[in-house]
Copies of this chain bind each other. A is one copy, B any other.
Amino acid sequence: MRITIIGSGNVATHFAAAFKNAGHKIVQVYSRNLDHAALLAYHVKAEPIDNLEAINTETDIFVIATSDGQIDLLASALSIYNKTMVHTSGATGLATLSQYTELSGVFYPLQTLSKNREVDFLTVPICIEGCNETITKQLLDLARTISNKVYLVNSEQRKILHLSAVFACNFPNYLYSVAEQLLKQNNLDFDIIRPLILETAQKVQQFLPNEAQTGPAARNDTVTMDAHLQLLGANPVLENMYKLISQLIIKNQEAKH
């Protein structure tokens, strides 16, 4: 397909590369900042533009991969070209596009993407929604050229997925940073705990988290929990978080029996 990328951030960058690698033609890369557009366009042999009036109409699909706040305005402006138009946002409904066009859809990658880190795109779940069956089919076909994990997900479910991603990715990463901070304060290198973090995530590739729960709270080991709270005594914020999550784990374990 002939694809126009709107945006030049993390998601735009990863999608442009994945489409290009799968043999699609990236026609143009649009960004408000021409330097940003040019950098990405260079990598995927596309034309960089910073003006929507320079859009090349010889394209099959606009992929709007910008921050959420820009989607509405861009959709409105791009609707005059009458092409399939998708956004890539987990938190934005299909309606933000479908109010402007009858060729709208969503192409949401459920993965944490950074420019400075490569991912194997074949393993990235892509959540598809189309405003009608023709669009849905077109998007499914396109998604399957870059990923082995393509799901049909409606706007309500996508909101839940986006929320779940906060609990499964952003919050765990914050807890890793708490460990980082505790280790640093005690002259221990973060390296020592990296294998534990990886194994914890690998375990739930095989089991469900509810089955994999371990630790002092899971066995209601109050001696160890009290000792941990004592160690955290100088930091009431962490102490409270420790108490809160431990109580939830204890409650969860009780519910199992």
Q: Which residues of A line the B interface, CB within 8 A?
A: 68-69, 91, 110-112, 114, 117, 119, 123-125, 127, 149, 151, 153, 156-157, 159-180, 182-183, 185-188, 190, 192-210, 212-218, 221, 223-224, 227-228, 231-232, 237, 240-242, 244-245, 248-249, 252
Contact call A252/B177, Cβ cutoff below 8 A: yes
CB distance from A226 to the nearest CB of B (A): 11
Contact of A193 with B171 in the complex, beta carbons under 8 Å: no
In the complex with contacts A91-B227, A244-B244, A248-B241, A111-B195 CB distance below 8 A: yes
Contact of A200 among B112, B149, B157, B180 (CB under 8 A): B112
17 of the cross-chain contacts (CB-CB < 8 Å) are: A110-B192, A114-B214, A125-B195, A156-B186, A160-B183, A165-B179, A165-B196, A167-B182, A168-B196, A169-B196, A172-B175, A174-B209, A174-B213, A174-B252, A180-B210, A197-B201, A198-B205
